[in-house]
Amino acid sequence: EAQVTQNPRYLITVTGKKLTVTCSQNMNHEYMSWYRQDPGLGLRQIYYSMNVEVTDKGDVPEGYKVSRKEKRNFPLILESPSPNQTSLYFCASRTTFGRNYGYTFGSGTRLTVV
Amino acid sequence: GNSVTQMEGPVTLSEEAFLTINCTYTATGYPSLFWYVQYPGEGLQLLLKATKADDKGSNKGFEATYRKETTSFHLEKGSVQVSDSAVYFCALNTDKLIFGTGTRLQVFP
């Protein structure tokens, strides 16, 4: 089954404790992206990657890092989480060729930073 | 810059009622337009799309027409069901996907 898999689904952590949210897709998509969803703000892009070793900032990159060492994986790293990063996070992917194609989203990771 | 504006929710309807969720956009160039749906506790799923002016996207009884003259992509369904209760996001795609803030639909029996 074609899918984007995120882990964990739920995470509670303390301020300053480094964490990684994993994202993996099995569709051989070139493009991958991370979004955060907050009430009243919709989804905002954090980082995206056009292909292996190519990453770029989205609209709200502060406090986050990403890497793209393999085509299928695109982890999101919070080096020193803060309470304002409490949010619902989604990873998404699509083929690069053709902006007419929709994105495939993961099931989400609900992060709480206390 | 590019942006999407959706009507505020929640939208509360009785089963079998007619649904309209308004969506307008601002974009340079010729974006593709999408509606995504998020059921409780789940990720976003592509509901329908339209890639050029006057295209009509449809799926599961939902429809939306790409109106370039009014820069709109309103979502409609003739008869909603309780199972349609979800959050609906309008989005445009040029070089990246930009979402509206989402509209929660609640359908009661």
Q: Does A46 touch chain B (CB under 8 A)?
A: no
Q: Provide the pLDDT confidence category of residue A1 given band limits of 50, 70 and 90.
A: confident
Is it the case that residue A33 has pLDDT exceeding 90? yes
**CB–CB contact A33 B45 (8 Å):** no
Q: Would you say the C-alpha torsion A79, A23, B39, B22 has a positive or negative sign? A: positive
Averaged confidence pLDDT in chain A: 93
**pLDDT reported for residue B30:** 83
A48 neighbourhood in chain B, CB within 8 Å: 96
Closest CB from A42, A104, A107 relative to B42: A107
Burial (0-12, 13-18, 19+ Cβ within 10 Å), A37: buried
pLDDT tens-place string over residues B67-80: 999 999 999 999 99
pLDDT tens-place string over residues B13-72: 999 999 999 999 999 888 999 999 999 888 899 999 999 999 999 999 999 999 999 999
Kindly state the average pLDDT of the residues A41-54: 92
Indicate the helix (H) or strand (E) that contains A111: strand A109-113
Kindly state the average pLDDT of the residues A38-49: 91
- A86/A103: higher pLDDT: A86
pLDDT tens-place string over residues A12-26: 999 999 999 999 999
**pLDDT reported for residue B95:** 74
Q: How far is CA B100 from CA A83, B72, B83, in A?
A: 24, 12, 22
| Chain A interface disruption, residue of B7, B95, B97, B99, most A CBs within 10 A | B97
Pairing of the two strands A10-13 and A19-25: unpaired
